[in-house]
Amino acid sequence: MMGATGCTLVFGGARSGKSAYAEQLAIASGKEVVYIATARAGDGEMAVRIAHHQRQRPAAWTTVEEPLALAGALRQWRAPGRLVLVDCLTLWLSNLMFADGTDYPDVGEIALPERFHAERAALLDVLAGAGGAAGGSAGEIVLVSNEVGMGIVPYGAISRAFTDEAGRLNQAVAAVCSRAVFVAAGLPLVLKGAPC
């Protein structure tokens, strides 16, 4: 059971069980759940993955699709007696990096769009207000994110920039959340905060 934790980051690698674990936390909370989906169905495979996740969710959950303005969605949907589950931060990051159709260079420094910086700052402001135990009285937030920096260094400037930004985002979110849980092979390891 979550208790009044305010904000929890659940992160791990691809197919680590992080989304399933975050959903278990939401169910165990006994609260009304709002699920904010950040994914966009850019191709057939992603559409299949999205449909699979939709079928797995309880019918009573409210689903909100918000690929870009995550801070605004959290402000709108967070409320006492409610848990907002965001899945996932790394898809949101990717959406922001490519929102304006920028053609990034293969080598050299990557300058990210101004909207990326504004949305990231807005998200961290919302989460900073939700991070402590007192923040939980206004509703809880559970965020899912990928840990993409544990493998080989990716090829190409944009891939490295994405990996770097995902790592920075996870660090910043973990710093303001009251709990951070790493999931590997379906097993949760609480790195910060009270046990779940």
Q: 31, 40, 53, 82: which is the annotated catalytic residue? A: 53
Q: Say which DSSP state 62 is in.
A: E
Listed in order, strand segments (DSSP E) in 13-162 are 32-37, 62-65, 82-87, 140-146
Q: Which of 35, 132, 122 shows the shortest CA–CA distance to 72?
A: 122
52 part of the active site: no
Q: Contacts from 182-190 at CB under 8 Å and sequence distance 24+?
A: 182/11, 182/12, 182/147, 183/10, 183/11, 183/12, 183/16, 183/17, 183/18, 183/21, 184/12, 184/13, 184/16, 184/17, 185/16, 185/17, 186/16, 186/17, 186/20, 186/21, 187/17, 188/10, 188/21
∠ CA 91-110-99 to the nearest 5 degrees? 40
Catalytic residues: 53
